[in-house]
Amino acid sequence: MSRIIGIDLGTTNSCVASTDSKGHPTTLVGLDNERTVPSWVSWSTSGQVAVGTRAKRQAVTNASATVYGVKRLIGRKVNADDVSWFARLAPFRIVAAPNGDAWVRVHGQPVSPQEVAAHILRRVRQVAEEALGEPVTRAVVTVPAYFDDAQRQATRDAGQIAGLDVVRILNEPTAAALAYGAHRVGEGRRLIAVFDLGGGTFDISIMSVENGIFEVLATGGDSALGGEDWDRRMLERIVDEVFDQYRVDLTGIPMAMSRLREACENAKKALSVETETMIQLPFLANDQHGAPINYERPVTREQIDTLTKDLLDRLEAPCRRALADARLQPDQLEEVLLVGGMTRWPSVQTVVETIFEKKPSKGANPDEVVALGAAHYAGILAGDSNDAALLDVTPHDIGIKVGDSGFAVVMPRNSMLPVRARRLFATTTENQKFVSIELYQGDATDVTKNRKLGQVVLDDLPPGPPGSTRVELVMTVDVESILSVTARELRTGREASVTIRPSGGLSQREIVEIINRRRQENSHVGGLPMQGGTVRVTTREHAISKPDDDEKK
């Protein structure tokens, strides 16, 4: 069996790790010597695909065909609130697939987020193969704790398209906690917070660790806050300065904007260790007389902090809310773990210390810690270590619709898999002939904000007054996250059932078609080598619950 690698498929950057010969997780570095791969994919007009740093460089010059933040779209409907928000900001087009899923349109062609993510995973896999000198086919891939089953399955599907068997999906905060060794310290139940500020998103998770079992107690965050906001503030300031001094609008000059963006991010990184640095951009553009504008200015950490005070302030409320959801006070937490490159910024660390009333732990490299945790877990799965017994849990409440928009939870989130839950319901009208039970997953009390999974209809009910007919609902979720639901009328024993496999939006046939298409393209353009011939569909998997028509746009 080939080894299992650990992959952090991030919103802005991705990272891959594996255990070394002594069983220690280490970050894998490919031939280009980069420790992380920017999660960017760019298509030239001739169809050539660039991934990572090469794609990110095209962000301004080839903006409409350069896709980033695909993690925000994977397994999502186009009309979800934060997808609409992202669609308004993104310079590339986000469109509705026939089933209402959010896809991107590149050079006029619709592309699923699974395919975009697969390009990133394929690149990450290549990095791993370069570093290890052997083929890699199996991976543990991390996702945010709040990802629902569809988002998790879509991530698995992306792995399959990239030629990877995703042996396990792992929650990011759990991976981080594993990498920090949170399960090895002390006895009894320990409470920790994982504070994750990356390039584009902020996630806070409150967790408990006991006997090697990690449980996510509460999650929160801000999906529109990350290190890029700091960069953008600096960039906007320079654009204004240049305009005031030279009457030249840099926003209309893609090459200048691209250089500026990179210079601001680099200055920010320098300022996380120094208190002052220099931004130097010779020949940034031409002034109105055709003379070159050579931008050169010192910048201090204090100036950036003043410019971004409101961004720092936005970190507090989600932390307080997550603590309240977990019914905990800051002093009950033993440790706060820092994850995400932006937690290197000193003022971010100060804010964390103020909120949680303790110095955060900085033992690990925040950009790599999630991948290292995934590699650690891969080592456990491969039998190299029996360090922690991680149990899988249901990520969200599963229940049924009651009334117009109520949600009755049958199986609470964080139930350890496999799990079985049972609940009794009664008819509500006189001589009710049938019950139609709509199944949903999510944490909102308003069912319309949750994801519909499917429905069970039980008909030919015996006549009687309201409440006379009782229906028992039994739900089970197995270790593969497959949900089975049976509804049984207690007097006659009539029953109806449904089995719901997680669906990421693509059917198995569609996934195989993408794989075959990619193989044909690769044989023409000389892309990444892949082994084997055409893949055939051997099993046809599909979700019992097809996306609703009313979810289509």
Nearer to ligand AMP, 40 or 345 (CB): 345
Inter-residue contact 151 to 143 (CB < 8 Å): yes
Q: Which ranges constitute the DSSP H helices of 30-108?
A: 53-56, 81-89
Nearer to ligand AMP, 367 or 392 (CB): 367
The whole-angstrom separation of Cα 44 and Cα 55 is 10
The residues, any chain, with a CB within 8 Å of residue 54's CB and separated by 6 or more, are: 42
Nearer to ligand AMP, 170 or 435 (CB): 170
Nearer to ligand AMP, 52 or 399 (CB): 52
Inter-residue contact 338 to 155 (CB < 8 Å): no
Bridge partners for 369 per DSSP: none
3-state secondary structure of 423: strand
Bridge partners for 456 per DSSP: 437
Minimum CB distance to ligand AMP, residue 94 (Å): 21
Of the candidates 464, 474, 463, 465, the residue with the CA atom closest to the CA atom of residue 425: 474
Q: Which residue is nearest to ligand AMP (CB)?
A: 227
The whole-angstrom separation of Cα 119 and Cα 159 is 9
Q: Which of 129, 149, 157, 172 is an active site residue?
A: 172
Q: Is 148 noted as a catalytic residue in this protein?
A: no
Minimum CB distance to ligand AMP, residue 340 (Å): 4
Q: Is 8 noted as a catalytic residue in this protein?
A: yes
Q: Which of 196, 228, 367, 368 is an active site residue?
A: 196
Nearer to ligand AMP, 370 or 439 (CB): 370
Which residues make up the interface to ligand AMP (CB under 6 A)?
Answer: 10, 12-13, 36, 198-199, 226-228, 265, 268-269, 272, 340-342, 344-345, 367
DSSP E strands in 223-291: the ranges are 276-286
Inter-residue contact 11 to 39 (CB < 8 Å): yes
Minimum CB distance to ligand AMP, residue 396 (Å): 24
Minimum CB distance to ligand AMP, residue 369 (Å): 9
Minimum CB distance to ligand AMP, residue 362 (Å): 12
Of the candidates 366, 378, 13, 8, the residue with the CA atom closest to the CA atom of residue 171: 8
Inter-residue contact 157 to 542 (CB < 8 Å): no
Q: Which of 8, 157, 335, 489 is an active site residue?
A: 8
Nearer to ligand AMP, 237 or 269 (CB): 269
Inter-residue contact 51 to 37 (CB < 8 Å): yes
Q: Is 249 noted as a catalytic residue in this protein?
A: no
Q: Which of 71, 77, 268, 401 is an active site residue?
A: 71
Minimum CB distance to ligand AMP, residue 195 (Å): 12
Note the maximum CA span of the chain. Answer: 90
- Which residues belong to the active site? 8, 71, 172, 196
